[in-house]
Amino acid sequence: MAVSKDKERFVIYLYPETLEKVNELYRQDDCHSRSQFIEKALRFYIGYILANDDVSYLPTAMLSNMKSIVAESENKISKMLYKIAIELGMVQNAFAWSHQDISEESFAVLRQAVESEVKGINGMIDFEKAVEWQKESV
């Protein structure tokens, strides 16, 4: 790999354990050389030191990290909501198929009761408790 003409060469003294860590980690950080890894580390550390003077460095780094965490969470939540929607559709169709003779009045009463219960339990629905509730309400 060719060295850029813009870079300057100088000697650096490192403790053996520090150099060992550099050797272990530079490829994990997608660096092509130890020199690139050390430069990247120095730039990060310089940014950290300058953060005392420039308040925008750390918030930018944190914001980038937070955006990535939120995007990953949104992706996982979207996948789970999709799976839940499929399961809910299955339950609704099975219920409708087995209870085709339910009256509109009974359906309205059931909807209002379930809505009230879901609000009371903060959305944490448990099938066994629903069965017990149905037995009590009959």
Q: Which residue has the higher pLDDT, 21 or 110?
A: 21
Contacts of 37 (CB under 8 A, 6+ apart): 22, 25, 26, 29, 31
Domain membership of residue 123 as a residue range:
102-138
The backbone region for 109, taken as left when phi is positive above 0, alpha when psi lies in -120 to 50, beta otherwise, is alpha
CA-closest candidate to residue 7, choices 45, 28, 36, 44: 36
Residues 97 and 112 in one domain: no
Residues 65 and 35 in one domain: no
- How confident is the model over 49-64, as pLDDT tens digits? 877 666 566 677 777 7
Residues 94 and 61 in one domain: yes
pTM of the entire structure?
0.39
**Poorest-pLDDT segment among 25-34, 70-79, 85-94:** 85-94
- How confident is the model over 14-49, as pLDDT tens digits? 999 999 999 999 999 889 999 999 999 998 888 778
Residues 88 and 108 in one domain: no
Range 10-19, long-range pairs (CB < 8 A, 24+ positions): 12/38
